[in-house]
Amino acid sequence: MIVKKTLKEIEIMRKGGKILAQIMERLKKKVRPNIKTIELENLAEKLISEYKVKPSFKGYNNFPFCLCTSINEEIVHGLPSQRVLKEGDILSLDLGIIYKGFHADMAVTIGVGKISFLAQRLIRVTKKALKLAIKKAKIGNTFGDIGNTIQRYVESQGFNVVRDLCGHGIGRKLHEEPQVLNYGKRHKGEKIEKGMVFCIEPMVVVGNWQIEKAPDGFCWKTKDNSLSAHFEHTIAVLEKGPEILTSL
């Protein structure tokens, strides 16, 4: 069952989303060659404490960290570690927080130093896929409209969408109904209604869309080791249209 939010609850989620966007902005500025991903985790933990919020991911399904750091062929749930970022890598940062009992969730992919033209294109296409999908999050449309928009745009650019991972409803729980797929057919699936809050998160790959679990049991990566990018926003459906809650 999809839990719709009241305007008062959406206002709380808006405030939480803004805090998350501020934390993510500060994390992004620290990404550079020769930094260890564990240093980004330590900063995320410090900022979460500074803003007096709680981490959504730490302890969720035994995930040991606040922040997901996924590099190159890693799609999501990469574990922060002593691994050093190098020039040309691309890094996906995924972070969730809890503010006054409600979760907010967002992700970005950024280049480390100078990156290849292909990596630049992949990031640009994934970011635009999210932007196009958000426009479809309107009362009366369906979740199939969102997935179809992402899939058609991504494939028109010569890339593929991951099929086995998806976006999700969000609120008092990190993952709620519905599943928000990155592929689908127009006018199919559940209708989008006022008060729904969910995360749209295109995960786009250069090669084949098939994925596998990394040996650590948390991270998902591309099976063919091709590059992957990931962007995510928390969206509220209002009378006037979709609102991005996780933006500055």
pLDDT in tens, 26-79: 999 999 999 999 999 999 999 999 999 999 999 999 999 999 999 999 999 999
Q: What is the pTM of this model?
A: 0.97
pLDDT band at 115 (very low <50, low <70, confident <90, very high): very high
Q: Judge whether 61 lies within some domain.
A: yes
Domain count, the chain: 1
Residue 90 within any structural domain of the chain: yes
What is the domain-level CATH number for residue 36? 3.90.230.10
* Domain membership flag for residue 66: yes
Residue 166: inside a domain: yes
Residue 2 lies inside a defined structural domain of this protein: no
* 1 domain-assigned: no
**pLDDT band, very low/low/confident/very high, at 95 (cuts 50, 70, 90):** very high
Give start and end residues of each alpha helix (H) in the chain. Answer: 7-30, 37-50, 117-135, 143-156
| CA nearest neighbour of 199 among 70, 68, 94 | 94
Reported confidence tier of residue 104, pLDDT bands at 50, 70, 90? very high
For the record, the structure tokens of 165 come out as: 């991972």
What pLDDT score was predicted for residue 152? 98
Range of the domain at 172: 7-244
Q: Which of 159, 163, 167, 156 is nearest to 229 (CA)?
A: 159
Mean pLDDT of the chain: 98
Residue 14, in any domain of the structure: yes
| Cis peptide preceding 178, ω within 30 of 0 | yes
Give the pLDDT mean for 203-218: 96
